[in-house]
Amino acid sequence: MRHPAIWLSLGLLVLSGTLIIYRIGWLNYPVFPTAPGHAWQLTIEARVKPDHKDKEISAMIALPSEHTGRMLMEERSGSDAFNFSIIREGANRIGIWSGTGGQEEQVLTYRSIVLMRPQRTPRVQLPTLKVGAPPIVKEEQNLVERLAARWNSVTPLERFRAVVGATQGRWGTMPPDERDLRAWNVMEEREGRLVSTLALFQAAGLPAHAVEGFQHAEGIWQRPLTWIEVWSGKRWESLWPETGETIQKPALLFPLSTGGVPAIQVTKGTLLDARWSLSRQIVSKWNVHFERLKKSAHLLDRWSLFNLPMEFQQTFRILLLVPIGALMVCVLRNVIGFPTFGIFMPVLMALAFRSTGLAYGLGVFAGIVLVGYSVRRAINRLHLLLVPRLSVILTLVILSFTVLALIGSKAGIRSFMAVGLLPMVILTMTVERFFVTIEESGALTAFRTALGSTAVSTISYLILQWEPLQLTFFIYPELVLAVAAVEVLLGRYTGYRVSELIRFRNARGPL
């Protein structure tokens, strides 16, 4: 093998890419995991009272269900005396509160955060929902069948448009006779617009059902809204039954129950009051993917970093950033040509700046280096050995941290109290190297190296602070293998640095 470094890099890249493709293609990981969508907090509160003392009462409330375009997070239910359970009834998800509460009223509560992802909802969805017959008498069924017979020869989409027009009073160029029109008006008054419209759609061969829910808007409602969903041959269409108006943006609807299932129903008791409220929520991107992965049974999901205890997840989020910072140091030193004090000092400083902030971190770094240089120059005449000398400087660095923390406590500056997270040993070695560089190469070289270290730390900090990068590496930790592959390739680079090309741009070789 003539180029083992290249083959090693290629192997690491292939392994990393294979794992990522497997997660995305087979485990349905998001390609861009930092787009959480729109989150809404749904709160349901109902007050019920038993009809008879010591008799069991039950309340059934339609709850949001999870599907491709919607994910449930942080579900909570509450009641003082009732048991709670969830059942499936067709496409509906029903919460049941049951128990004996005496003659006292009981307050039932439900709260969840619903993450809406309209871009994940398929544009074409087959009508798998079973639709029951509308509750109408035989004469009314015969009437809607006669009215719908005129549309038997047209396509489902044209039938849908014709029925929508009929519900709005527009029957086209060949309207029914006056007797059927009068019978239709009587049916609408007796059965209501909802039942009549559903019956007409189904007589026309278009599956249709009623839906109860809300629109995506902040507010409080005493009762849910009702609309109709109809299969037009290619997709589900939605319309308001009272006006027959088609809903142009069905993605802005928040359905709770379908197929005639009531949004709330109480047996052996009385519903005193009910209210539904929706409010926008800011959901942490980390929580979104934690909810996604903890429900999975796949091997890679079970071994995901999201399954670590929450207090340890923060630690590994930082650890996974260290290889990225090291890669930045490799590029900025070996390819660009930034001078730095040491190899890992800039990346450790960049990680420390995440707690102190960039401005305070750079100020504290510069201040401690200058104060440490003054002390190092003062004790130079004592001719101390290396280890005791570094111990004195380390003691000074810790003392400086303590003084800054006390100043921050008195002045209310939290960033000063976080300076203890700066790497003390690295700062101690930086002070020593700063002094040695001044003694050996002059102040100009020392300050140029200090500025280079500051620039590398700042660039690394700005990259490591980018939250999409943090989340991507936490979800796909195999990306560290790709980072190692790039570092191996950089280790084989022996060409000119960018700073050298700029420095010697006017040089001419011999003729």
Would you say residue 168 has pLDDT above 70?
A: yes
What's residue 511's pLDDT?
44
Residue 278: pLDDT over 60: yes
Residue 450 has pLDDT above 70, yes or no: yes
Provide the β-strand partners of residue 99.
57
Whole-angstrom distance, CA of residue 246 vs CA of residue 228: 9
pTM beyond 0.75, yes or no: no
pLDDT tens across 321-359, in order? Answer: 788 888 888 888 888 888 888 777 888 888 778 777 788
CA–CA gap between residue 374 and residue 431 (Å, rounded): 9
pLDDT > 60? residue 508: no
Mean pLDDT over each residue of the chain, to the nearest integer: 81
Please name which of 256, 320, 254, 363 lies closest in space to residue 471, comparing C-alpha atoms: 320
Q: What is the mean pLDDT of residues 304-311?
A: 70
From residue 416, give the alpha-carbon distance in Å to each of 314, 348, 358, 427, 443: 22, 18, 12, 16, 29
* Domains defined along the chain, listed by start: 38-122+279-286 (2.60.40), 138-260 (no CATH), 311-475 (no CATH)
238, 229 in Cβ contact below 8 A?
Answer: yes
Counting Cβ atoms within 10 Å, is residue 139 exposed (0-12), middle (13-18) or buried (19+)?
A: exposed
- The sheet with strand 83-89 has its strands ordered as 83-89, 92-99, 57-63, 264-267
Handedness of CA 185, 186, 192, 198 (dihedral sign): negative
345 sits in which H/E element: helix 345-356
CB-based contacts of 367: which residues, under 8 Å, 6+ apart? 400
Query: Phi, psi at residue 296, to the nearest 5°?
Result: -95, 150
**DSSP labels for 64-92?**
---BTTEEEEEEEEE-SS-EEEEEEETTE
CA-closest candidate to residue 352, choices 435, 460, 433, 445: 460
Distance of CA 76 to the CA centre of its chain: 20
